[in-house]
Amino acid sequence: MTGAEPLLAVRGLRTVFPTRRGLLAACDGVDLKLAAGEALGVVGESGSGKSVTFLSVLGLIRPPGRIELGEILFEGRDLLRLSAEERRRLRGRALALAMQDSLSALNPALTVGTQIAETILAHGLARSRGEARDRAVDLLRRVGIPSPERRLADYPHQFSGGMRQRAMIAIALAAEPRLLVADEPTTALDVTIRAQVLDLIDRLRRERGLAVALITHDLGVVAERCDRVMVMYAGQVVEEGPTADVIARPRHPYTRGLLASLPSLDDPDRPIDSIPGQVPDLTRLDAGCRFRNRCPLAVEHCARPVDLRPLSPDRRSRCLRAEEVA
Amino acid sequence: MAEVLASDYVLFAEAKGLPRRRVLLLHALKNALIPAVTVTAIETGQLLGGNMIVETVFGWPGLGAPRRRKHLRAQLPARAGGGSALRRHLRDAEFRRRSPLHRAQPEGAAVSAPATAAAQPDLRPVSPLGLGLSRFAANRTALASASVILAFVVLAVAAPLVAPHDPAEADLFRRLQPPAWAEGGNWSFPLGCDGLGRDITSRLIWGARISLFVALMVIGLAAVIGTLAGLAAGYFRGWIDTLVSRLVDTLLGFPYLVFAIGLMAMMGPGLHNIVLALVYKEWVFTCRVVRGETLAAREQDYVEAARALGCGPAHIMLREILPNVLSPVLVVATFRMAYVIIMEASLSFLGLGVQPPTPSWGAMVADGRDFLVEAWWVSTIPGLAILALVLSINLASQGLRDAFDPRLHPS
């Protein structure tokens, strides 16, 4: 972890969606910090609030969903106090998003070239269309797309899945953002391309101080690429700390469960443990620990509110019995 | 357009920080335009058929036009028209004695079928009914439109109770009596009387039965036929698709009104023939939409998954694909319902529809076109009723779609 002033600091973020069964807090009291050049892995199962947290940061929560509480400080400015127009200018330029599903994220009716160039032009980074085009070619080359000049005129459906994913990352990086939110950017890619894309992101981190929030299911990618990891469960951060430390010594039973449900290459005979039970209904929560219905360590006290508490200067856990988790 | 706006690529375009204008005009509109162009192409053919009514009003070289010209010149109530009006009245009276529909009306037995059909104006396909209803209730325009439709339905069902007079009762002393608020009108005939001295209020109320009955029957039958044909064509492809699609294209080639006029001429006028004549073509619109949606749906993974589970074609079509194409069917049905009401009015206007003295809004407009100058209300009032009902159906169908389409409500 770099000790510098954080690029992004989120405090007490609560984003809610009205549903037919009542208000659903997709993320509830999320705190996080991210410094320039840092890579934060965000893990958790589907519906744990990973994507919603970062869509809130980008200001892309669609009504009727809304941010109810909290502050999002980016370079010291609270994004929630900015006007819609000011936030728009930051999006793409300062905070970029690479989405999970490239097939639906790229507009089927526009060429890939148009979609890259428009980002460059929207943020005034090129004086002419020709210049924007040249930069688009350069971007496509850097994400490893062969003969990019020709490919600019293609429509998204003419690209393979992996190429689309890389084109989307090229778009996200087009305006040289300072923070990249990558929502499972490599899930659909094969291993070699995945390494290429992740290497590109790593290089930008080192060279330009790009901060990356890597939302993923893939603990392998996190272990390999991220300085810190944040584990989310049912809309809350349950554990946070340096990646190697968290993986070696989880301090929350959910993290331990996640790690135990991975097959191990070193010890192929180790049985895979799945976590029993199901995520609680997010509209029917009580004040207590949200994992306690599935937790092997649950005790009576767990029905009371549990805070995310520091265990050491760089580790936090939302478990009463964090020290006992082995 | 609403669906396009909820898509990922619009979200991604916003994530790039593009100006709102560009997101809307380029990213969203370009995708929304594709269906719009298709609709435009189909509608152009329809519009050509619609000319006939305009021609009838302004330049039909038949019986109406010379007489109307004479009226316009003389600016007098037509004495010449009196004789024909009397003959028509006698014929009407004769028809009333013979018509089984009319004989049965006092007891309300023969009309119970249209009455029950009219009591269910909304086609509600999606299961979370309460949710959709609450969304619908929150939409004030749609709610207001639904109330207007409901009011018409109630009037139609309760016609024998609420109509102040017998709709076919003519009295030449009341001929062209103005509405109550105009000079010379009185409140026993609130909307005035037509060229035969029949009460327009009562005719309007009874006419609502015809309009709503025809609309519901035609749309119901057309939706069932069109959906089944569309599902089969889209799912099986091959010769079934070729057969259905060529039939659809051929039918679309005929201007609607000309087609219906031809059929009515062959089958003869009458309520049931109107329904048949309209259904012959109306199913095409549902079929086209369903076929297109089915073509898209059969490539989806959930259909593949169903096939992998060993489901038969009937199961896949009815249980997997149908629920996903139902919302466009609902939209088409409600929008077309407005159109069918106009078609029935047009046919009756041209004298091919419901025969006098049974009141139909279209026939009422036609009755009044001879007196447009001296008695505007005879044509205008049923015209306004058509306008109000059609507009309400259009607005309510928009509201229904917004409320019930699950794709517009991801959470």
DSSP B193-244: B-TT--BHHHHHHHHHHHHHHHHHHHHHHHHHHHHHHHHHHHHH-HHHHHHH
B16 contacts A89? CB cut-off 8 A: no
Q: Which residue of B has its CA nearest to A173?
A: B16
- C-alpha to C-alpha distance for A252 and B399, rounded to whole angstroms: 48
pLDDT at B349: 80
pLDDT tens digits, one per residue of A44-85: 888 888 889 998 998 888 888 889 889 999 988 888 888 888
**CB-based contact B17:A88 (threshold 8 Å):** yes
Of all residues in chain B, the one with the smallest CA distance to A57 is B15
Q: What is d(CA B43, CA B251) in angstroms, rounded to the nearest whole number?
A: 13
Q: What does the alpha-carbon distance between residue A237 and residue A32 come to, in Å, rounded to a whole number?
A: 9
Q: Which residue has the tokens 């669609």?
A: A62
Residues of chain A whose beta carbon is less than 8 angstroms from a beta carbon of chain B are 17-20, 24, 58, 60, 62, 64-65, 88-93, 96-97, 99, 101, 104-110, 118-119, 122-123, 168, 171-172, 174-175
Angle at B309 between CA B303 and CA B312, to 5 degrees: 70
Using a CB–CB cutoff of 8 Å, tell me whether B9 touches chain A: yes
A159 to chain B, closest Cα gap in Å: 16
Q: What is the pLDDT along chain B (411 residues), one digit of tens a residue?
A: 666 777 788 888 888 878 878 888 777 787 777 777 766 766 665 565 555 555 555 554 443 344 444 444 444 343 444 444 455 555 555 545 554 444 444 443 333 434 344 444 444 444 455 666 777 777 788 888 888 888 888 888 887 777 777 777 777 777 777 776 777 667 777 777 777 778 888 888 888 888 888 888 899 999 999 999 999 998 888 898 889 988 888 887 777 778 888 888 888 877 888 888 888 888 888 898 888 888 888 877 788 888 888 888 888 888 888 887 877 787 778 778 878 888 888 888 877 777 777 788 877 877 777 777 777 777 888 888 888 888 888 888 778 777 766 555 543
- Contacts with B15 from chain A: Cβ below 8 Å: 58, 60, 91-92, 96-97, 99, 172
What does the block give as tokens for A33? Answer: 């910090």
Q: A40 to chain B nearest CA, in Å?
A: 20
Give the chain A residue whose CA is nearest to the CA of B129: A20
Q: Enter the pTM of the model.
A: 0.59
**Nearest by Cα to B343 from B280, B264, B270, B260:** B260
Strands A22-34 and A8-19: antiparallel
**pLDDT at position A166, please?**
85
Residues in chain A where the model's pLDDT stays below 50: 1-3
Residue A240, H or E segment: strand A236-242
Instruction: Look at residue A181 and give its three-state secondary structure.
Output: strand
* Pair B67, B78: CB distance under 8 Å: yes
Of B16, B22, B128, the CB nearest to A171: B16
CA gyration radius, chain B:
24
Beta-bridge mates of residue B199? B193
Mutate to test the interface with B, among A19, A60, A82, A107 (most CBs of B within 10 A): A107
Chain A contact for B266, CB < 8 A? Answer: no
